[in-house]
């Protein structure tokens, strides 16, 4: 066991979803689709949408962070670092993490964004964990925040049914009781660069009247191809981390998967030998909130987790990026 070694443990979690609910019934009026198609192909029934001029992902993230600080009774000035996973930043710079600090009253902290699409929260969690386990920092906040509605084309039925907006944040603190992050596998497969992307608005294709007319500022994916990779890679990496740590299905209290498609999640659970009652699944309520899906699940299932529970977090997304994290719940 790893007692007396400093590990990074999640010691609190809080989430935020905007009020507006976009239902499958409403989408039926916007594009040629049906509730039946969306439900059977994805598992999604509704998603949340952030309304209001000038409100971006930092609004979602800051609401989650403020609620996290209030829940733990922590003064914002005690926070050493804020890392925000997002692919829908308010703007290129300042970073969304910078803006969250401003809104939440966090001063003098290290803050930056990580862009790893749907795997962003796992990348950020592991990065934040190293600041704790190295002894450099005592309190690190990791946020997953995405306003996916800002990069979704609501005339494209292939994509607009999938996404929602949301954010959730965790507090990482040191643990010497062998709790917290035990192991991680984080990977990239660049075959994905042509299958899932947002083409314009960056330095390669700066925004122009032409890029707008060609709808290149929206999320694009070749859904069918991405699906095939997602099913294989997310299950591969979840299985690999279990084998590496001598874990079998019965040892796992909960699988906390990225919520992209219920069928991908079922395939992953099946490969791990974990029954669906041990799988955190809330895609029906929120759709795919990209970097926010995993921490939103942690927030919802927090009341069910017990100290010492073995959790496997697993994600797959744009890049491709993918990964798994094995952690022992700390409270």
Place of tokens 């066991």: 1
**Of positions 227, 271, 284, 309, contacts ligand UT7 by CB under 6 A:** 227
**Structural contact between residues 311 and 256, judged by C-beta atoms closer than 8 angstroms:** yes
Distances (CA, A) of 8 to 131, 145, 253, 270: 8, 21, 19, 29
The single-letter DSSP state of residue 95 is -
In degrees to the nearest 10, what's the CA dihedral of 204, 209, 211, 212? 130
**Structural contact between residues 13 and 142, judged by C-beta atoms closer than 8 angstroms:** no
Of 84, 261, 288, 297, the active-site residue reads 288
- Residue 33 binds to ligand UT7 (criterion: CB under 6 A): yes
Place of tokens 């890392």: 83
Residue 275, C-beta contacts closer than 8 angstroms, at least 6 positions apart = 249, 269
**Of positions 42, 86, 150, 182, contacts ligand UT7 by CB under 6 A:** 42
For this structure, is 158 an active site residue? Answer: no
Q: Which contacts (CB < 8 Å, 24+ apart) does range 130-134 have? A: 130/8, 131/8, 131/80, 131/81, 131/172, 132/6, 132/7, 132/8, 132/172, 132/173, 132/174, 133/5, 133/6, 133/7, 133/8, 133/174, 133/181
Listed ranges 16-24, 93-101, 129-137, 260-268: which one lies at the site for ligand UT7 (CB under 6 A): 260-268
- Residue 224 binds to ligand UT7 (criterion: CB under 6 A): yes
For this structure, is 118 an active site residue? Answer: yes
Name the minimum Å distance from CB 3 to ligand UT7. 37
**Of positions 37, 154, 197, 205, contacts ligand UT7 by CB under 6 A:** 37
Name the minimum Å distance from CB 260 to ligand UT7. 3
Measured from the CB atom, the residue of 72 and 157 that comes closer to ligand UT7 is: 157
Binding to ligand UT7 (CB under 6 A) within 129-168 occurs at 157-158, 161
Binding to ligand UT7 (CB under 6 A) within 96-125 occurs at 118
Query: Residue 270 CB: number of other CB atoms within 10 A?
Result: 13
**Of positions 13, 82, 181, 226, contacts ligand UT7 by CB under 6 A:** 226
Contacts with ligand UT7, 283-302, as mask; x by CB under 6 A: -----x--------------
For this structure, is 258 an active site residue? Answer: yes
Which stretches of the chain bind ligand UT7, using CB under 6 A?
33, 37, 41-42, 118, 157-158, 161, 221, 223-224, 226-227, 230, 260-261, 264, 288, 317
Catalytically annotated residues: 118, 258, 288
């Amino acid at each position: 066991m790893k007692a007396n070694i400093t590990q990074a443990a999640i010691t609190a979690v809080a989430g935020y979803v905007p009020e507006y609910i976009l239902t499958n019934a409403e989408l039926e009026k916007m594009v040629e689709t049906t509730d039946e198609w969306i439900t059977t192909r994805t598992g999604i029934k509704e998603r949340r949408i952030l309304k209001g001029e000038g409100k971006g992902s930092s609004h979602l993230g800051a609401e989650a962070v403020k609620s996290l600080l209030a829940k733990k009774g922590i003064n914002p000035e005690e926070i050493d670092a804020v890392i925000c996973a997002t692919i829908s930043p308010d703007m290129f710079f300042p970073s969304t993490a910078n803006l969250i600090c401003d809104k939440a009253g966090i001063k003098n902290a290290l803050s930056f964004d990580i862009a790893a699409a749907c795997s962003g929260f796992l990348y950020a969690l592991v990065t934040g964990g190293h600041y704790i386990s190295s002894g450099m920092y005592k309190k690190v906040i990791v946020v997953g925040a995405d306003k996916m509605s800002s990069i979704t084309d609501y005339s494209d039925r292939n994509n607009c049914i999938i996404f929602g907006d949301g954010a959730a944040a965790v507090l990482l603190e040191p643990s010497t009781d062998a709790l917290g992050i035990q192991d991680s596998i984080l990977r990239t497969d660049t075959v994905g660069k042509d299958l899932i992307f947002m083409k314009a608005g960056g330095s390669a294709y700066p925004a122009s009247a032409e890029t707008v007319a060609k709808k290149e500022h929206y999320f694009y994916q070749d859904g069918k191809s991405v699906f095939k990779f997602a099913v294989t890679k997310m299950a591969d990496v979840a299985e690999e981390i279990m084998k590496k740590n001598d874990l079998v299905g019965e040892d796992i209290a909960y699988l906390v998967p990225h919520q992209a498609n219920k069928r991908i999640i079922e395939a992953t659970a099946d490969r791990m030998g974990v029954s669906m009652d041990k799988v955190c699944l809330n895609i029906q309520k929120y759709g795919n909130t990209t970097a926010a899906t995993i921490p939103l699940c942690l927030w919802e299932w927090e009341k069910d987790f017990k100290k010492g529970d073995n959790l496997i977090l697993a994600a797959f997304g744009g890049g491709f990026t993918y990964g798994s994290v094995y952690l022992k719940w700390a409270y």
